[in-house]
Amino acid sequence: MHVVVTGRIEGSKTYEGKRYTQVMTPAADAYSRPQLVEIRSKSRLGDKGEEISCQCILGGFQRKAYETKDKQSGEIVKVIPVEHTLDLCEE
């Protein structure tokens, strides 16, 4: 799935040859908080404080399942966490 991410660069780091850039997106309205996303890329997206807009591929995967107790019902439930990823379209 392709998505467009627009926001301000908050920082970046390099790990195992990939660049990870944290981008703060604008809040939906005056009473909600902005979202922070991380975009994985081969190259640098810009400097801290710079406003960017870029096309990314939204992906994801499941992490290891675990069991926990539901606080309302007391029932043991299985939880399967899902991680989302954003990769810069670099074609």
Residues 6+ apart with CB under 8 A from 28: none
Residue with tokens 């902005």: 34
pLDDT at 91: 72
**Residue 74 DSSP code:** -
Model pLDDT for residues 59-72, shown as the tens digit of each residue: 999 999 999 999 99
pLDDT at 44: 94
What is the value of pTM for the model shown?
A: 0.83
Q: Residue 79, exposed/middle/buried by CB under 10 A (0-12, 13-18, 19+)?
A: exposed
CATH number for the domain harbouring residue 63: 2.40.50.140
Contact 40, 20 (CB under 8 A): yes
Mean pLDDT by 10 residues, the chain (91 residues): 97 96 95 96 96 97 96 94 96 72
pLDDT at 38: 98
Domain limits for position 78: 2-88
pLDDT at 85: 96
Number of domains in the chain: 1
